[in-house]
Structure formats: C-alpha cells, structure tokens
Structure 1
C-alpha cells in the first residue's frame, strides 16, 4: 500500500520527468514491462512513472540499448553532477554520441573465426536436428540433461564462444555427452542467430523434418531470466513422452512453422522496440511485405521450426558483415530484427506459430491429395545456334540475358543465377539426365519440351535430337509446339519479327509428321497409358484451328501412332477466341496468364504505386502481387470461368527483368514460402477439379523469366523441396 501511494503521489519533478520520457520516444514500454513480468497492473498503466520512481534507481534499463549504470560509469561527469542518467541522455547525451552500455567482455578468446563448413553426403541423417549455441558454458549441463532425456533420435550441432576463463574446452564437454555431435568454436558475433545461420547457410541443416534451436539464454536484464529460460526450454523439450508426441504432431501439422513454449508467441506493435526499419530491410531481401500493425513472432529464440522457415532464412543471405560488433546491446541489432522477421516469413508461407499446449489440442488436418501426374514446361534454349548468333551476337544463349539482369526495386534479386547445374549447355545430354533425376525426386513425372517448328524449319532441336541417340538416358518428355513468331522483344506479341510462323498450306500435316519420330521414342509420354500427348501453345494463332487439328490427328494415325491426346495452353488474349472449347482433349493453365487481376497491381498499373519496396528510377514495367495471383487461382469465380478439362497450373515465381530490363513484368513476393502456400491451397481446392488430377508447372528452367525450379544462388534447391512436399511419393518426398 505504501509503495502504491508513493507511486500515485509522485513529486512534480518526477511527473515532469515521466512526461519527458513519454515525449522522447526513447522509452520502450514493451521492453521495460517485459523485464518485470510480475509488475502490478497499476504500474503497467504508467511504466514511465514506475521507471522514474523505482526503475532507474535500481539500474533497470528503459530500452534495450541503455544501461543507467554503464552510462554513469562511462560518463563520470554525469555521475559527479548527480544527474539522472537517462534524462541527461535524452537532453544532450544522444546528440553527443555518449556510450550507453558496457562493451563486450575482454574475457573472450581472441582470434576465433567462423569455420568453413562442408556437408558430408555420406553421413546418415536423423529425422530431426538440434542446434545449440553456448555462450554461458555453465549452462551446458542444463541443456544436455534435457537432450539426454528425450526419446527421439537427433543430430546435434553446437557452436560455442571460447572464453579465457574456460578450464575445459567446451568442445570436450559436448563430445563427452554426445560423441557424434558437430561442434565448432565461433566468434562472439551475431549472438545465437548468426551461428545458427552459419550452420544453415552451409547446408548442414537441410533435409530434416524439424529443427530445434536452443541457446544459453541468461537474460541478465530480466529479474526472472533463469525462470524464463527454463520455461522456454521445458516448453519444447520437457517430459520426454509428451515431447515425442508433440513433435510427431508438429511434423504432421503441415501448415505450422514454429513450436514455442506457452506464452512465447508475442503479438502486437508494442514489441517493435527500435527494430522496424532493420526488419523491413531484411524482409525486402525475400520480397515479404511488412505491416507494422501485425507483428507476431516466436520470442526468446528457443523453438522448433520447419524447413520452409529455414529456406526463407537462408534466402536472406546474411553473413557476418550483416551483424554488428558485440556490445551487449539489448535491442536494435540485426539479431533482434531477424527474430521479428520470422513471424512475417511464417505468415507469408501460410504457416502458423503454435504454442506447446496447442499441439495437444489442435486438430491436425490430413495431408492434401497428391497430383496424379505432374508436368513442367522445359525450355531447350541453352545452347548456341546460328540464328541467335545472327540476331543477338556470337555465342548467345539463354544464359546471356540471364546474367545481364539488374535490380528494379529495393531488395530485388537480379541477376538470378544457377548453382547445382551451373551455366549448362544442353548439347551435353548428360545434363538432361541430371535434370530428369532432380525432377523425379521432386515428384515431376515429365517435361513438356517446347518444339520450335516454322513451316519445316527447326530451331533449338539439338538437345532432343541428341537425346534420341542416347536411349539409356531416362528423360520422360512430350512436346509443346511453340507456334508463335519469334520477336525481338521476347513477348511474342509485338516488336520486330525474327522468325515468322506463316502457316503455309499443309502446315498441320507437316508439323505432325515432324514430331512423329519423337512420339515413337519409348520415353515419349502416354499419360493416360495409351495415347501420346501433344500440346499447342497458341491454338488461336492457327488459321482454321478445327481443320488444322483434324489434319494433325489424321496424319498421326497414318504414322501408326493411333489417337493422340491433344491439349492447348490457356493463353488469355483480348477478344473472343476462334477456338471452340471442345476441340482439344484438355487445356493447360499457364500462370501468370489470365491470373493478374487489377487488384494485384502494385506498380505500373491502375491505382498508382503500391509497391512495398522503393522502385528504381526509370522503371516503366509492371509489378503485381504474387500472393494475389495465387489467391485468384483458387477463387470460385475464376475456376467457374475455366473451360472443361483444364489442368491446374502454378508458377514458382515470375520476373522477366533479364529480358525486358526496366520494362519488365514482375510477380513481387515470390519466394519458397509463398510458392508453398500456393501449392497448399491449390492441392486442397483445385486438384479434384483438375483434368485427371494433374498439375502443371510453369516452368522447369525459364531462367530469363525467373520461372524455374532448378537450384539458384539465393534459394538453392528450395523450390524443388517445396514441390516434393506436395508431389513426390511419401517415401521420397523431402520434409
């Protein structure tokens, strides 16, 4: 009662100081009340007054970056004058760049560097990984005891900071309990966040169904630091029987990204501290928009996470230089921004953050159906030909344009470059064998290869012709006649014509005879088990489409192929199509065609500039929201307007900056997380309506349009891993 009365009848000087704190914008209410979890609700109503009367005299911090004791120690003139340390800082110290907290301890062993890490492909993997960062080595036994009790197999990865005071090397302590652990000394840099990312960026955490992240969290700025840490760890590694049960439910909950201890899903703008702009800058790197009003994140940096979140973390491409030198900061660092960015990554991927007790009660939805057959468009333009030499310069291939891509907005990743397969040449048929192996592991059944035929003249035919000479190479395929004229601006609709498609008399029969030799190859796909499949890219371009289709079918029968399953791309153009809906056996949906509604425009369309990231001066193209395109693809109105027998389509991303520069069309927000969210929604709503339960992907390797599944520098093989989750057979799918 006495304390409460003292609080209510504060002196005029104390009330004035509290008002000064509020007006400064430097007092972090969420941070301060978070350091005092048992603070009475009376004091929570006016934490500034509580700080003035009780907090500052006790040495409590008003925000994560200011220590009253350290300020007085490093600024003796303030101490001698007996001034209030934080008031002095507000009024003058911040403008004088005064030291506000203690620097890192000098007890840290000098000379440590982040080790070069290599994945051992021969090392067997457990289903789960546990990653531990040790700064306070005296807490290792506490963590080790939790791990030793568990009843699930895991691979252990440990990073530690070596201090001069260590009597025993922490590596020896870890290996004494867990001899198979991977243990490395690291600099005291990036807190527990960058050491975790260092393991992740090296690929050591790939391939696990879930990953547990721990660290020796002391939280000396909180009066309940030990209690908080113990609650965080017990919530995810508590009773071994219950933990194992929760872990299995966490894995089966496909739309869950994090598992945290109860009370550790923090939400609300009050938790921002001084991390807004730094978090926004991080999210720009992976094209995730940020609404400051919807902050929700896993707090404490101790949790289980799923592979989708890990893929987005790796996509940030953070290195040691992105993290500040350690100075015991309690807020405003890259590590704090990463913690908050995790919630937005989760939301972008359509994933939730579950607290421990929720795993006991939440209903786990069954997995969605898997497609009956998966096709990906395949571009053969990765080798030089005489025509491209003439039109674009000696040695031109698709890679020539890809490497010239330049950013069009803040965070825009251009150029988009390959990793695993490199800048391949498709005249080397072994490349196609490796592509087919990668595709099959992700659940892709066949490539639909573009066939370039211009009234008897073939282009880009070498890859497939060489494949026919190599029957031992397993490359399942069928053809799509890319029957539009080639134009200098790459969009097929305007610009100087380089190679015309003139449709000379008899073109249909001649084209059908030309492709018959491929259809006779055993690797040419008969998706329904009997009929070879063929697709026409632009059926409305053909004169008299009905007559042309009948002529093709008749020719194939004469070639001994019987009936051909004939499809067409659902290519949306203005005006009524001359092609009757029933002319083809099926239609192929090819995002983004027909899916970019007016509501999706972010820049360059109606409604002005709504881009979440600053646009480069001179950009005159179009940016639209990838997630809006995905939502439209599963909307009732859109599906109702589709022709019968349409195969549902999806794209991992779309960005033709490499071809069109500042006039590019860009699907903003495409990343492995949003691709996964689209696949999840499509699998649950569209597959049962899709022609024979099939799925079509645009595309396998359209690098100049960033419509590719092949591994790239920013995201590695993430697109393939996401696809495998929904398309591969359960025994071969990645997690």
Structure 2
C-alpha cells in the first residue's frame, strides 16, 4: 500500500505543477530546446510518470540536481558564466529559453579541461593455453581514487577468477596505479588504454584480443562516478553489489550458469525495457547490429543499463563478432548520450535476445528447473573433401583451383553482408595433409559431433576428390570417424547440380552397383567407419530420385556389398527439395536425412527476389539478382508440427548454421539472412524441444561442417570464431561430460551411439 501511495504522490506532483511551473513548462515546450530523448537516455532512473513527461521532472527536480535539458546546456555552468542571472535568483534554463538563447549566452563551460596523454591502444597477446579460472572479472578504472573501493570488493569475492584491469592512461600516475594493482593482485593483467569509448572500448579491446575466450562467465565493472547525477556513488555501489553480492556469490553464480535461458546478469532495477529508453541511439544501434544481420525492432528494446554485468560466453562472442575498432569510437567530449558506446550498451540486449537469451536482474538469479529438451544421441555433419587441387578443377576453373579461391573472392551483395567468410583456427587448409583431418575431428569431438558424412564422388568407375580419404586409409593413427554419402548428381558449371554445362556426367552404366560396391568396401572395412548400431556400416545416397530404378538399384547395391563380405548396410538418403526423374518409395531406405535449406524455403520467407518485392532491412547492391530469405522464418518452419508431420517416419532431423552461396554464384546467390551463431542456437534448441524426439534414432544431422562456398560451416571463422561449436557443445554437454569424466579416459570412452 505504501508503495502505491508513493506512486500516487509522484503522479500528483508530476502533473499538478504550480502556476509558475506551468508557465515555465510552456516556455520550454515553445522553445524546442528541451531534448526528451536525451533526458530519458541520460537519466534512466526516472519513474514511468516522469519518463512520459521528462520536462516536468526537470522543472520540479532535475534542474536543481544539475541535470541537463539537452546535451549542451549545463545549469550550474550557466549560472557561473552568467552571474547576473545567478544574482537575480533566476532559474537558469528558464532564463536561457526566454532571453539567453536569443542573446547568445554561453550554455556550458568550454574552458580547457584535463587533457589526458594520447597513446595507442596496446597490443594484447596472452598465451591461449595458459591456466585459467572458470570466471574472468574485468575492471575499467577511469577514476584512480576509486581503486581502493574495488580492491576491497575484489578481495572479498568467494569464487575463483582471473582479473583484468584497464586503466585510462594518465602518465606516471597510471604507472604507480598499475604497480599498486599488481602488488595487490600479482596474477592480474593490467593494461593502460587511451581515454576513448568510455568503459566500453577498453572492454571490447580485451574481447577482440581473445583474452576473454574460454571463460564460463565474464563480469564487467568500471569506476562509475556519473558526475551528472547526485546519486552517482550510491548508484555505482548498487550496480556492483547487484552482481557481486557480499554473501552467496557462489550460489548465485552457479544458478546463473545453470540457467540456459540467461545470458546477462545485472543489478535489480537495471533491466530497462521499451522504446522510451533509446535516447539518441536507435540509428547507431541499428547500423551496429546490421554488421552481423541482427534486426532491431525499436519497441523491443531491452538492455542492461549501467554497463556493469555478468555475461555468458556466447554474448561475449557476439560482441566480438561486431569487430568494432578504436577508430570507430568518438573522441571524448563529455557526451551523455548518442555515442557508439551508448549504442553498444543498448545493442547488448538484442545480441542476447538473438540467441534466445534473457537479461536476469539480481533477484531473478535463482535456481530454476532444467528445461525439458531432448539431446541428440548421435550427431553427424556433411563434410566436403574438396580442399585440394585436382586435374579436373585445374581444367575447369584454373590451375591450382580449390574452393578457397572462390570463398576469398565472394562479393558483398548488401550493406553488412558477411562475405567473404574466411577460416580462422584451421586456416586455408589442404586436405592432402591428413593431420588437418585429425585437427578437424578433434574440434568436432569437443563440440559433440560424432562422425563426418563425407561426400563420395564416384562416376561409373571414375573417382575424384578422393585424396583426403586415401590419405586417411594410410594413416590409421589419425582419429577421424566417418561414413560416406555417394554424391551421385552430375557436376555442372553453375554449381547447383541441376542446370548448366555438364562437366562430369553420372551415367549409371549397366552393372554400376557392383562396381560402386567394390569401391565402397575398402572404406567400410576401416575401423573408423561408422556403424551406429555396432554392426552395420552406414551409407547414404544424395539424389536417390536420379537413380534409373531406385528400388532395384538399391537392392543390387545391398547384394553386392554382402557378396564382398561387408554384410548388411544401413542405407539412407537425403530428402531433397526438387523431385528427380524417379519416385522413390520411402521404405527402400532405412532412413532419410533432412538437409536444410532444401524443402524449407517458401516465397513467404523471401526478403529479396520474391513476389513481395524488396523487404531487406538494409540496401542491396546494384546488380544483385539472387534470392535472400529470412533464416529465422525458415528455422521456425523447420520445427513446426505441420512441416514435421510431412516427413517420412524414419527421418533424421537436420539443421544448418547458415547458407550463402555467394562464393559460387556471385550476384545470383541464394542467401539466408540473419544466420549467425545466436540464431543457430535458437533453431537448435527449438529442434531439441520439438523435433529430436521423433528423429530417427534421436539423431541430429548438420549441413555442414565445412561448406565454405555455401557458408554452411561449423569450423571456426574469422567472423564468429568457434561460437557455432560452442552452441552445439551446449546442446550435447551432458553426454560429452560423461564421456570425458565418468569413464576417466580423457574423452575416449564409448560414444553416445555405441549403446543405442
């Protein structure tokens, strides 16, 4: 009741202005000099009534507290610079809007302020293999006199952490402070940074350097005085203690980490929602988020205010993927709103939401029941063995050609287009080096990928792109679990396998089944070849509809493999999106595989190139004649009951991290807009709720591991790092952890599917 009465009194005071106050308000509104958006953004603690009528708050409270009605007017400066106004006891902004503005009176003190030494942003290089705690805490110190307060807080933290401190460079004073910090915390990483981008750029500098990779959570603090607020010290302490409570941090942090819907943790009262909080930052935030194809609905604004919070690794990684550089941040000039740093603060909420993650306030960080989701029992990923030169590609595309050449040359088709997409950890590899395949398998295993489904290019006895697997068969010590998918479509010059000049024809000569079986058998005898049920080697056919007589061809292929001593084979096929010359009865195969985007994209999903015209949220390049569709809409359709009911009963659920064949088709590309690790997580978790339970053997199939020419890749990229692998690891974590710890063998115990 008391709270309700308080709100009522606040409403009455806000609306029931006295006569002089009403005249003041009319003068302010007539002048057009009061910036509502700025005031709301600069002073986020306004109650809802005052947020609706911010000029009332300024007149009743704000002016006396030194609040600014616009970025350029400082009430206390105005009185100091205009002593006649002060002597007359006049209200500064009222005088300015009625007289002072016309007279050109100074609005703020523009005398030279403290000029901090100019330095370059330091280069950070830390050993990625160094011992790490599970958490990292980052502190930016602009005000050196606040360090003792932070030292006291940090010394009382009950969980293990690695400390990173950035100092605004002030010459010798910073050297002394750095020595003091390292004396207090000998293992801390302390770096001096230029006075630019407030606390945001120093934090992003650590993020971009990769020094915050690999932590389960990262806390960000800064020496916040907020001199434009009379309650600056109280607010700072509330923000810090909201995420670093004096008691119970370990329990709270465990609850935050276990909450798979939480991405950000802030103090109570700091989760700001609604378009009224944009201030002057909407346009900048929209441009910022377009860099990774995250859309902005203005009314959906929800972000952690105060810039003090805990972040989950995926949110840190998405911040990194924005690739913001120091040159993008404005010079410091006392701005209270409208800078890139302010836009990043608001964009953070959209980054989390794009991954299906929420902002939790301190009182909401509590133990929650685990979400009911089905985890995959076996994860496969399509694997392209193309990345090495062969005579055929030399002849057709130029000497030494591999798909890396196309990937590097992919053009940008619209503002913010994420092309070219280039490899990171594994580099521009050559698959003739079998060690590369071992490195790929190690990355895959850590994320929960159990086997690669390798495309097998066999054309009536002629085999191409087989050097990687031939090398693998000679290296039994290289761990690379695999099985084959016979890519039985003809090769054509326009890459789609459906039209254009035929480069390599699939003719299905009489007796091809026996010849194919003999070719396959040598791979199936390898101990690394996948047998999901422990008995039958698995084989897939990419285009069963292209077979001249699918049922008869499959039967003869099975017989031929039995005759070679291979035994029974678990035979599957891709559920393709375009009908072939033959109709295939579903039970010809043991299973089918979904292969997004095949069969999922409809005209309703087109953002460009469809019947609804151009609906792209960003400008499209002149000359682009391809198709762009909405990744999120396709993902939603993939888990819809209507779509899944139309699949064969024995279908393996499929997913794609992205799709963009610009590298192959240039300005005629087909592109999934909005595909990034966050939206991949949303699709994957929806599939775990709605699709995996009905998937064949409860399996998951990923398109693809390394289709760089189609930007369907799980491998680490220069844009997103290993975030897609992190997302997949989260989905398979229980089983991976069991294999690595319960068996006590470093992750080499029986895989999930061995006991299926």
TM-score normalised by L of structure 1: 0.92
* Alpha-carbon offset, residue 104 of structure 1: 8.4
Q: Check if 1:525 corresponds to 2:530.
A: yes
Match of 1:441 in 2: 446
User: Does structure 2 conserve the Cα–Cα contact (< 8 Å) formed by 1:103 and 1:327?
Assistant: no
Could you tell which deviates more after superposition, 120-129 or 516-525? 120-129
User: Does structure 2 conserve the Cα–Cα contact (< 8 Å) formed by 1:101 and 1:329?
Assistant: no
* Alpha-carbon offset, residue 597 of structure 1: 3.0
Q: Check if 1:459 corresponds to 2:464.
A: yes
Deviations along 1:402-461, whole A, 9 cap, x unmatched? 111111111112111112111111111111111111111111111111001111111111
Look up the SS of the partner of 1:34 in the other structure. coil
* Alpha-carbon offset, residue 169 of structure 1: 1.7
Match of 2:429 in 1: 424
Runs of at least 5 residues in structure 2 that lack an aligned partner in the other structure:
1-8, 742-756
Look up the SS of the partner of 2:681 in the other structure. helix
Look up the SS of the partner of 2:214 in the other structure. coil
Equivalent position to 1:619, from 621, 624, 646: 624
Match of 1:317 in 2: 323
Equivalent position to 2:665, from 655, 660, 666: 660
Match of 1:641 in 2: 646
Match of 1:682 in 2: 687
Name the CA shift for 1:474/1:167 in 2 (closer, same or farther; >3 Å): closer
Equivalent position to 2:505, from 492, 500, 518: 500
Q: Check if 1:106 corresponds to 2:108.
A: no
* Alpha-carbon offset, residue 343 of structure 1: 1.0
Q: Check if 1:265 corresponds to 2:275.
A: no
Could you tell which deviates more after superposition, 156-165 or 305-314? 156-165
* Alpha-carbon offset, residue 28 of structure 1: 3.2
Equivalent position to 1:178, from 178, 182, 185: 185
Match of 1:155 in 2: 162
How far apart are the structure 1 equivalents of 2:77 and 2:143?
Answer: 21
Equivalent position to 2:228, from 217, 221, 245: 221
Q: Check if 1:482 corresponds to 2:487.
A: yes
How far apart are the structure 1 equivalents of 2:174 and 2:629?
Answer: 58
Equivalent position to 1:720, from 722, 725, 736: 725
Look up the SS of the partner of 1:28 in the other structure. helix
Deviations along 1:607-665, whole A, 9 cap, x unmatched? 22221222112211111111111111111111111101111111111111111111111
Could you tell which deviates more after superposition, 310-319 or 140-149? 140-149
Equivalent position to 2:69, from 62, 65, 76: 62
Q: Check if 1:547 corresponds to 2:545.
A: no
Name the CA shift for 1:284/1:74 in 2 (closer, same or farther; >3 Å): farther
Q: Give the aligned CA root-mean-square deviation in angstroms.
A: 3.1
Deviations along 1:129-182, whole A, 9 cap, x unmatched? 111111112222222222222221111111111335838722123223222111
Look up the SS of the partner of 1:293 in the other structure. helix
User: Does structure 1 conserve the Cα–Cα contact (< 8 Å) formed by 2:685 and 2:731?
Assistant: yes
Look up the SS of the partner of 2:413 in the other structure. coil
How far apart are the structure 2 equivalents of 1:691 and 1:4?
Answer: 63
How many residue pairs get aligned? The number is 726
How far apart are the structure 2 equivalents of 1:29 and 1:187?
Answer: 28
How far apart are the structure 2 equivalents of 1:352 and 1:333?
Answer: 25
Equivalent position to 1:345, from 344, 348, 351: 351
TM-score normalised by L of structure 2: 0.90
Match of 1:232 in 2: 239
Match of 1:394 in 2: 399
How far apart are the structure 2 equivalents of 1:441 and 1:230?
Answer: 40
* Alpha-carbon offset, residue 122 of structure 1: 3.7
Match of 2:3 in 1: none
How far apart are the structure 2 equivalents of 1:659 and 1:11?
Answer: 67
Runs of at least 5 residues in structure 1 that lack an aligned partner in the other structure:
none
Could you tell which deviates more after superposition, 563-572 or 622-631? 622-631
Deviations along 1:565-599, whole A, 9 cap, x unmatched? 10000112258960001110111111111111333
Equivalent position to 1:566, from 561, 564, 571: 571
Equivalent position to 2:520, from 515, 518, 521: 515
Look up the SS of the partner of 1:624 in the other structure. strand
Could you tell which deviates more after superposition, 369-378 or 527-536? 369-378
